[in-house]
Structure 1
Amino acid sequence: MQAITSGFAQGVADSQFCFRHILTAMSEPGTVCQLNKHPGFMPLHAATSQVLLTLCDQDTGIYLSANLANEAELAALTDNLAFHCQAPLVVAEQADFAVVDGQEEVAMSSFKAGTHLLPETNCTLVIQTNGFHHGPLYRLTGPGIEHHKHVQLGYLSPTITEHLIAPKQAFPLGLDLIFCAGEDIIAIPRTTKVELS
């Protein structure tokens, strides 16, 4: 087992803080929310780590893309997630939460989109990106957005960009997306329509 990094300093209070901010991000798509209660488990961004610490437990399967880090770094990350979240690592098709790099080509159809009877069984895709101040400009509309909102999500791979603009599944099916850059997150749930501006 690799060296274990400490989790939240104030376990309950910090996880509640992060949960409120993640909820705000999901209910107000395109809003930047800061998660600043943990420096992150390398090689994950601080925000990515805090999303997993807050939302994952023994009943949520996590998929980690091999493109996130080298084998040794992924082994250390796996040990930390197992210790702090007790969440099992699974293949993409079984994931409740999947962590990928924003510039990698991702087989989006591999992840669970939910069913018409149980749409909440979909996967939440956590995408590490290189910032929210560059890259293409996207126009968001839908629930939680008054009129529209413009966001930048960094430089994303064609497969992620294509899914944003033209998801293969119609609501209520689909993936919920959380973009992470440093300590900041932007959420784009499946209810949001995304267009290139």
Structure 2
Amino acid sequence: MNDTSLSLDNLAAGLGDPVHDSQAIFRVLLDTLSRPGTLGRIQPVLDADGPLAHIPCSAFAALLTLADYATPVWIQQHDDALAATVRFHTGAPIAQHANEAAFAYIHEAADIPAADTFALGEPETPDRSTTLLIRVDALEGGRPLTLSGPGIESSVTIAPRGIPDAFWHARAELAPAFPCGIDCYLVCGAELMGIPRTTLVEMN
């Protein structure tokens, strides 16, 4: 986002039961990232007719659960309602540049920046990298991708729709930098999949 002024006019409601809801959401986020390619589902936490009805509830729930005052959030497209709501409920600052963010919400996967645009962490502090929440058109029906690595018994095939091949190529080029890298969640509606930096993604 380029505008640092945040209006409170279009704030969306947060979690109904912040403690228990965030615990349940965190378990889903942890499970899907530890088992790459596994489909997870988060119970809806958005008002279907509210100011954030255009945001997948899985992405919104993840931001409410993971973000705090010490984790800047970058939003790909200018979205005052999302920025104001995240800042109000979590205290997270809104990052002006992708490489400053702990979490990044990508609303248009077709225009996702190159993987190395985001913070990759340092060898001593690999956790200081950006976690991406990428909205996809669907979690199936796209180009098949074969995942392998930790958390996968052999391999698993997924087919998210809407992410350009260039992103996966750029992500693969980050492999030599491990333990640095980026972790990703693919989000669609209430569903999501995790793809951590340890996962090898091959295009079929």
> Does the pair score TM above 0.5?
yes
- Partners of 1:79 and 1:173 lie apart in 2 by 30
In structure 1, the residue matched to 2:153 is: 146
1:189 is the counterpart of 2:196: yes
Q: Distance in 2 between matches of 1:88 and 1:4?
A: 16
Deviation by residue 1:3-58 (Cα, 9 ceiling, x = unmatched): 32211111111110000000000100000000114127343211110110110011
Matched residue, 1:178 = 185
CA offsets 1:128-151 (integer angstroms, 9 cap, x no match)? 101112111111110000011111
Which residue number corresponds to residue 107 of structure 1?
A: 114
Identity %: 29
3-state SS of 1:121 partner: strand
Deviation at 1:105, TM superposition (A): 4.0
Distance 1:159 1:125 in 2: 16
Q: Is the 8 A contact 2:15 2:21 kept in 1?
A: yes
Q: Which runs of 5+ in 2 are unaligned?
A: 1-7
Q: Which runs of 4+ in 1 moved over 4 A?
A: none
Superposition TM-score, scaled by structure 1 size: 0.91
User: By how many angstroms is 1:165 displaced?
Assistant: 4.2
RMSD: 1.6
Give TM-score, length-normalised by structure 2. 0.88
Whether the 8 Å CA contact 2:116–2:170 is kept in 1: the answer is no
Of 19, 35, 39, the match for 2:26: 19
Matched, 1:88 2:99: no
Amino acid in structure 2 at the alignment position of 1:4: L
8 A Cα contact 2:168 2:201, kept in partner: no
- Show CA shifts across 1:44-84 (max 9, x none): 21111011011001110000012xxxx5xx11111111111
Q: Which residue of 1 aligns with 2:132?
A: 125
- Which has the higher mean CA deviation after the structures are superposed, 123-132 or 34-43? 34-43
